[in-house]
Structure 1
Amino acid sequence: MHEPSTLPVMVIDDEPHLRITASQTLELAGYTPHCFESAEAALAALPANFPGVIVSDIRMPGMDGMTLLHELHRRDSTLPIILITGHGDISTAVEAMRAGAWDFLEKPFAGDELLDVVRRGIEKRQLSLENNRLKAELEAQQAALGPRLVGRTAVISRLAAMIQRISQVEADVLLFGETGTGKDLVARAIHERSARRNYPFMAINCGAVPENTIESELFGHEKGAFTGAVERRIGKFEHANGGTVFLDEIESMPLALQVKLLRVLQERHVERLGANEAIPLDIRVIAATKTDLKAAAEAGDFREDLYYRLNVVTLPLPALRERREDIPLLFQHFAVVAANRSGLEAPTIDSQGIASLLAHDWPGNVRELRNLAERYVLLGAAFDYRLDTLLEGAQADTQEPTLPRQVELFEKSLISQSLSRHHGRVTEVCQHLGIPRKTFYDKLKKHGLHADDYRHSSEP
């Protein structure tokens, strides 16, 4: 959030004494007032994405406050507008609220009343702008890193680069990562960036399909191939011809079926159960595992020849604790998605909430973070939006970073967020963080951050 001294408040009233009084009150509270004697003059001076609020009298010569309200909401429906009504004019105030006014002040009003309604309006405005900024940043990241990768850390940038390279070559891929690290999403990102993007992406969880049906699921069957096979079934491999087959939890595949899978990978054709005809395949196979397949092969739990066939290109996925600086951005991304799906407005997180996110070990990785963000949007109000309370009951953090490391991560995250919010403009970031320029540059060097990385191409 911006500090009050950086936030403007537009005051519109044709009475000079009210403009002067309101301006002095706002200045003493640290705001930057901009006063206008007419609605027409205020509209001409209003910039896009105005970060503050509007305070306007209703009864004015020319364009009145109600007409101004409708015009402002036509331009920006999230802009908080506070209307000033005459003494006892309750019907006008009710009409204004129904028309979308944020709040109203009744003449005469005290300075404290003005500051209270402005403060609340400012908080709402900053929340709306923050959500808009986050959506824009996520869209920019989607264009740069792919539709499902969110993050700025070096490890996620390397992963994005690897996905880009792998997607351009014809090779089967083995994804290795803990539960919840997004192996299915990475598989889809590879498919969608490849020349196969216009063909099917078929996903099957080898651990979730009953052993007696998985062969039919993968390879299909002819009518009468076994009891219950009342009609021909096209398997995942055949259906995905031209595209990609994703085999999740491949370590769960029965050993007998692994032999047939190896043959499919080597010969690139498939035979339906109960048929003798070999069907040619043009597919890419992406397999995923959370276990060490080499160790499983040595223990006899996984075929060694299949392991080496799959191990042509192996892509390790980082655990969330290995990229803690991405956690606040990921959390807000999931909160925005959940809010949009539920028709709600995504609440932002304060510094205490960020600290709670950074301190948690995330044994469930990104999946656990996403679930928390959804609970925060849907149930957060019942817990006063306290993330530490929502996190209660989570698995104990057995590898919690030391206090100096938590402080370091927290500082880096705050600097990164401020750089992103201000598009890398150093003067604004230093003002927002309240630190001298030299200290700021020292911290950039310490954390390996670069202001230029946060400047959009459209920025000067």
Structure 2
Amino acid sequence: MTEKILIVEDELNLRKLLSIILSQEHDQVITVDNAEEAMSIIQQQPIDLILMDNRLPGMSGLEALKQIKEADPDIFIILMTAYAGVDTAVEALKHGAIDYIVKPFDLNDLKALVKRTLELGKAKKQGINLSPKIELSTSDNKGHILTNSPNMMELCRNIAKVSQTKTTVLITGESGTGKELVAKTIHYYSTRSTGPFIKVNCGALPETLLESTLFGHEKGSFTGAYQRQKGLFERAHLGTLFLDEVAEMSTNLQVKLLRVIQEKEFEPIGGNKPIKTDFRLIAATNRSLQDMISSGEFRQDLFYRLNVMGLSLPPLRDRTNDVMLLARYFANQFCHENNKELLDFSISAVEVLNQYHWPGNVRELSNAIEHAVIMSNGLFIYPQDLPEHILTHHKTPAFNPDFAETEQHGVTLKDKVKNYEKELIINELKRNHGHRENTAKSLGISKRTLLYKIQEYEIVETIV
């Protein structure tokens, strides 16, 4: 059976490479550089698989995906994207993409994905029923995950897929990595998005109060129970229940939680009539449940029930590409909240932020930027605007010795920072042969900021 693959990619070298690689194993590979031409080809001949970039001149890949699937729902489309946030992933899957792959990708991974997709196409043509996709409902209150890091992009891919199911999810990661944000994102992109999202921190309540909070109680079931109280299991019906820090739950409550998950029903405290419930359970912890199982602190059977789909959040120190992306997001947010003009980061502040280890992860970064916004007096955030503990961890050997010696001559910290920034800019301009855009990119600042600094420091651009 002849297999026809259509590649839609505007980057010439990548388009040629994909054509060569896929032509080695498949019958016919057609290449175009825009979505309009791709749609014209589809109207003229049958295509088994489309491998399409998202960012195209003219019509975007996502827009083309929608129109192609409306015209021919049976065509399999794989979307290629360099910006794989949850929004992109969900939109791609929602509008009919069979899958998507993040640039830069491993060619072996791509070949395997193409092969698997074509096999699905053959099965469909032979009349073998494939599981239909669950349609995603929309919501205005969606989780918003910002990332440029490959490991987080892969996580976004998994979030997009798991959000379409009803399965139980266990989210693990250090404190401050954003476990609650992931839980909200799964909920708001799911078919339960119109239902409630209810959260409880299992470590913040004593055992008896947590039990009452989860199960509810009948009137008169204990001293002070003056009326019937619905528990979270009941309130989360047709929605999502998020159990944060589930590892802090007592073994007694673990047994009761396991029964609710298995039976889909529970009895309130003081009640004798089971109540049916239909909620999606998402749990999270910053501890190793495997270690707790070994020490007898956590039930193994409950772990297996919770860990149907496990998502592990990397710490911020392993997401170095995201530090300044998130820092600028938080800066804009806190400037808006405090009625301040939008601030940019000085080059030296960028270096300090990128060198810091961030033991408190994204939560610590958010707090640090809020502190810096409040302390800043100008158009830029400087190192001295950041919390003191971050400055003390800065790797001072990175500074030029000549620059450090100015401390002996009574030069202020602000002057030192400016001298250091000027030196950094000059060195980067030399390294990039005077190319401003490349220099701004290597310094982690906008081109506008670079031009402002060149003018402020009177840097002569005769560097070639």
With the length of structure 2 as denominator, give the TM-score of the two structures: 0.55
Q: Does 1:240 pair with 2:236? A: yes
Cα separation, 2, equivalents of 1:205 and 1:283: 17
Alignment of 1:58-137 (within 5 A): none
| Among candidates 125, 128, 144, match of residue 88 of structure 2 | 144
RMSD of aligned alpha carbons: 3.0
Paired residues for 1:119-198 under 5 Å? 143-144=87-88, 147-198=143-194
Task: Tell me, yes or no, if structure 1 residue 217 matches structure 2 residue 213.
Answer: yes
Q: Quick one: structure 1 residues 188 and 354, their matched pair in 2 at CA, closer, same or farther if it must change by over 3 Å?
A: same
State whether structure 2 residue 202 is matched by structure 1 residue 258.
Answer: no
CA 1:282 to 1:320, structure 2 compared with 1: closer, same or farther past 3 Å?
A: same
Question: Which SS does the other structure have where 2:345 is aligned?
Answer: coil
The Cα of 1:380 is off from its aligned counterpart by: 2.3
Gaps spanning 5+ residues in structure 2: where?
1-82, 90-141, 399-433, 443-464
Listed as ranges, the matches of 1:270-419 within 5 Å are 270-381=266-377, 385-387=381-383, 390-394=386-390
Classify the secondary structure of the residue corresponding to 1:300: coil
Cα offset for 1:362? 0.2
Quickly say closer, same or farther: Cα 1:140–1:344, change in 2 above 3 A: farther
Q: Judging changes above 3 Å, is the alpha-carbon distance between structure 1 residues 278 and 396 closer, same or farther for their aligned structure 2 residues?
A: farther
Deviation at 1:143, TM superposition (A): 3.9
How big is the shift at 1:270?
Answer: 1.6
Distance 1:240 1:259, change over 3 A: same
CA distance, structure 1, for counterparts of residue 334 and residue 313 of structure 2: 24
**Residues 343 and 380 in structure 2, CA contact (< 8 A), matched pair in contact too:** no
Task: Give 1:217 deviation, angstroms.
Answer: 0.4
C-alpha deviations, 1:177-221, integer Å up to 9, x for none? Answer: 000000001000000000000000000000111222000100100
Q: Please, which moves more after superposition, 220-229 or 148-157? A: 148-157
Q: CA deviation at 1:141?
A: 5.9
- The offset of 1:237, in angstroms, is 1.1
> What is the deviation of 1:431?
3.9
SS class of match (1:207): coil
Q: How far did residue 389 of structure 1 move?
A: 5.4
Match of 1:202 among 194, 198, 222: 198
Question: Which residue of structure 2 aligns with residue 102 of structure 1?
Answer: none
Report the equivalent of 2:437.
432
Q: Are the structure 2 counterparts of residues 395 and 305 from structure 1 closer, same or farther at C-alpha, using a change threshold of 3 Å?
A: farther
Distance change >3 Å, CA 365–CA 395, structure 1 → 2:
farther
With over 3 angstroms needed to count, the CA separation of the structure-2 counterparts of 1:383 and 1:303, relative to structure 1, is farther
Q: Is the 8 A contact 2:180 2:244 kept in 1?
A: yes
Q: Which position in structure 1 is the counterpart of 2:129?
A: none
Q: Give the Cα–Cα distance (whole angstroms) in 1 for the partners of residues 347 and 238 of structure 2.
A: 49
CA contact (8 A) 1:202 1:246 kept: yes
* Residue 229 of structure 1 pairs with residue 225 of structure 2: yes
Structure exhibiting the larger radius of gyration computed from Cα positions:
1
Counterpart in the other structure of 2:38: none
* 8 Å CA contact 1:363, 1:395 repeated in 2: no
CA distance in 2, matches of 1:335, 1:273: 47
Query: 5+ residue gaps in structure 1?
Result: 1-138, 404-428, 444-460
Partners of 2:310 and 2:439 in 1: CA distance = 45
Q: Is the contact between residue 169 and residue 307 of structure 2 (CA under 8 Å) also seen in structure 1?
A: yes
Query: 2: CA distance between counterparts of 1:430 and 1:396?
Result: 34
Shift of 1:333: 0.3
Equivalent residue letter for 1:280: K
Bigger mean CA deviation after superposition, 234-243 or 207-216: 207-216
Contact 2:383 2:391 in 1 (8 A): no
Deviations 1:101-150 (A, max 9, x none): xxxxxxxxxxxxxxxxxxxxxxxxxxxxxxxxxxxxxx996743664201
Counterpart Cα distance in 2 of 1:304 and 1:380: 51
The structural deviation recorded for 1:236 is 0.8
Distance 1:312 1:142 in 2: 21
The question of whether the paired residues in 2 share the 8 Å contact of 1:196 and 1:242 is answered with yes
Q: Match of 1:334, as an amino acid?
A: F
When residues 273 and 434 of structure 1 are mapped into structure 2, their CA distance, relative to the original with a 3 A threshold, is closer
In 2, the alpha carbon distance for the partners of 1:295 and 1:331 equals: 34
Deviation for aligned residue 1:306 = 0.9
CA contact (8 A) 2:215 2:232 kept: yes
